[in-house]
Amino acid sequence: MTNNIIIINGPNLNLLGEREQSQYGSITFEQLKQKSLLKAKELKVNLEFFQSNIEGEIVTTIQEAKKKFDGIIINAAGFTHTSVAIRDALDIYKKPIIELHISNIYKREEFRQKSLISDIATGGIFGLGDNGYILAIIAMQKLLQNGNR
CATH number at residue 106: 3.40.50.9100
Predicted confidence at residue 16, as pLDDT, reads: 84
% of the chain beyond a pLDDT of 70: 91
Given the residues 81, 101, 106, 133, select the one marked as catalytic: 101
Q: Tell me, yes or no, if 106 is annotated catalytic.
A: no
Q: What is d(CA 125, CA 103) in angstroms, rounded to the nearest whole number?
A: 9
The number of distinct structural domains making up the chain is 1
Q: What is the pLDDT of residues 19-31, one digit of tens each?
A: 665 655 678 999 9
Q: Domain containing 8: what range?
A: 3-145
Q: What is the pLDDT of residues 31-64, one digit of tens each?
A: 999 999 999 999 999 999 999 999 999 999 999 9
Taking the model in full, what pTM does it have? 0.92
Q: Are 69 and 6 in contact (CB under 8 A)?
A: yes
Q: Tell me, yes or no, if 24 is annotated catalytic.
A: yes
Given the residues 24, 81, 93, 106, select the one marked as catalytic: 24
